[in-house]
Amino acid sequence: MNNEMESTIRELHRVGDIFHRKSELQYSLYELTDSKNANNREEENETESLNATFAHKMECYQYGLARNLPPRPQIGAAVENPIPQDIPKDPTFSALVGVIFHASIALWLISIVLHTKSLEYFFQSVMLISGVWWFIRARNDITEYSEWKKKCAAWNDAANCFVSDGQDKKFYPQCMTYENAFISFAKDCDAYYEKQKEEKIREEEELHQKFSEERKELAEKERELKKQLEAVEEQLNEVIIIHPDMADMASDIARILERGRADTLKEAINLALEDDRKATEEMNRQAEAQRLEAILEQQAQEARRHQMEMEEAERAHNKAMEEETRRNNAAMEREARAHNEAMHRAAQESNRIAEDRNRHAREQSRASARQNEFTASDGHRCQKCKNRFGCSRDIHNCGAFVSER
C-alpha cells in the first residue's frame, strides 16, 4: 500500500470520526431538549401543587373558624320567602269583559224567548266577541291576579304572626351578634390569607429561582453544544476527499481500502454504496419479514380467538340443548306421572263404580229375597184362604188367595 493510499485512508478515518462526533452532538442536543421540556413540566407540576396546598390551607382555616360562629338568626319559614313579585296587570278590563260576556248570554237567551230577531243577533255578536276575548286572555288575567293576591295575603299573615309573637324584637339583636362575629371571622380570614399569600409568593419565587438556574445551566450547555456542532459542521464542509453528503460512509470506505476490496477511492466509494444498498435492502427485507410475521401472528391470534369463540358457542349450544333436553325429559316425566295418576284415579273410580254396582245388586237381591220370604202374616193369610187345602203354603203374597168370605 503506497503512501498516497495510506494518507487517503487516514483522511477518511478522520472524516468518519468528525461525522461520529457530529452525531453525538446532535443526540446530546436532542437529550438536552427533553431535559428542558421536563424542567418546564416539573415546574408547572410543583406550582400546581403549591397552589393546591395554599387553597387547602385556606379552606381548613376557614372551616375551623366557621365552627366558632354563633348560629344564624332564624326567621319564620314563610317570612324567609320573598315577597311575591311579578305583579300582574290590572284585571279591571278583563273583569268588565267577563261581565259583558255573561250578561250577553242572559240577554241573548231572553231575546230568543221574546222572538226579537234584531236584539238576538246583536247580543249574539256581543257574546261571541266577548267570549273569544274571555277564553283567550281575560280569564287567565283574572286567575293570575287572584293567585297573586292569595300569595300576598299569605305572606302578610306570616309576617303579622312573626311580629305578633315578638320574634321581631329578638331577631334584630341576633342579627347584630351574628354580623359582628362574621365581620371578625372575615377579618381573621383576610389576615391569614395575606400571611399565607406572602409565604406562597416567597415559595413561588424560590421555586422559580431554582428552575431558572437549571434552565440557565441547560441553555449554557445548549449554546456550548451548538458551538461545537457548528465547528464540526465547518470541518465537514472543508472535506474535499469525498462529498460532504457521504461523510457517514467515510469509515466504511476506509475499511474497504484497508481490506483491499478496492484499489482506488472511486471503486471503494462504489463498493460502499453497494454495501449500503444491500444493507438497506436487507433491513427492508427484515422489516418486511417482521411485518409479515406480525400479520401472520395477528391472523393466528384471530384464528385462535375465532376458534375459542366457536368452541364457546358450541359449549353454550350444547349446554342449551342439554338444558332443553332436561326440561323436555322433566316435562315428559311430569306428563307421564300425571297420566299414570289419572289412569290410577280412573281405575279406582271404575273399581268404586263396580263395587257400587255389586253392592246395589246384592242389596236388590237381598230386598227381593226379603220380598219373597214367607212370613207369619202370610201364614195367617193362608188360614183365611179358601184354597188352603192342597196348597204348599210357602208362597209370599200368594196370587191364588181367595178369601173364605
Contacts of 50 (CB under 8 A, 6+ apart): 200, 203, 204, 207
Q: What per-residue confidence (pLDDT) applies to 290?
A: 92
Could you read off the pLDDT tens digit of each residue along the chain, which spans 405 residues?
567 788 888 888 888 888 888 888 888 888 988 988 888 889 899 999 989 999 999 999 888 888 888 887 766 554 566 666 677 777 777 888 888 888 888 888 888 888 777 777 787 888 888 888 778 778 788 788 888 888 888 777 776 776 655 565 677 777 788 888 889 989 999 999 999 899 989 998 988 888 888 888 888 988 998 898 888 888 888 777 777 777 888 888 888 888 888 888 888 888 888 888 888 899 999 999 999 999 999 999 999 999 999 999 999 999 999 999 899 998 899 888 888 888 888 888 888 888 888 888 888 877 666 655 556 666 667 777 766 666 765 665 666 666 666
**What is the spatial distance between Cα 401 and Cα 380, in angstroms, rounded to a whole number?**
12
Asked if residue 337 belongs to a domain, the reply is: no
Structural domain includes residue 108: yes
> pTM for this one?
0.42
CA distances from 251 to 39, 206, 247 (A): 38, 51, 8
CA distances from 26 to 31, 117, 232 (A): 9, 110, 11
Q: Is residue 154 part of a domain?
A: yes
The whole-angstrom separation of Cα 345 and Cα 177 is 93
Question: Per the domain annotation, does 134 fall within a domain?
Answer: yes
Rounded to whole angstroms, the Cα distance separating 306 from 301 reads 8
Sole residue written with cell 454495501 = 275
Residue 210 — left, alpha, or beta (φ > 0 → left; ψ -120 to 50 → alpha)? alpha
Number of domains observed in the structure of the chain: 1
> In terms of residue numbers, what domain contains 102?
84-165
Residue 132 domain-assigned?
yes
In a domain, 152, yes or no: yes
| pLDDT value of position 177 | 86
**135 within a domain of the structure (yes/no):** yes
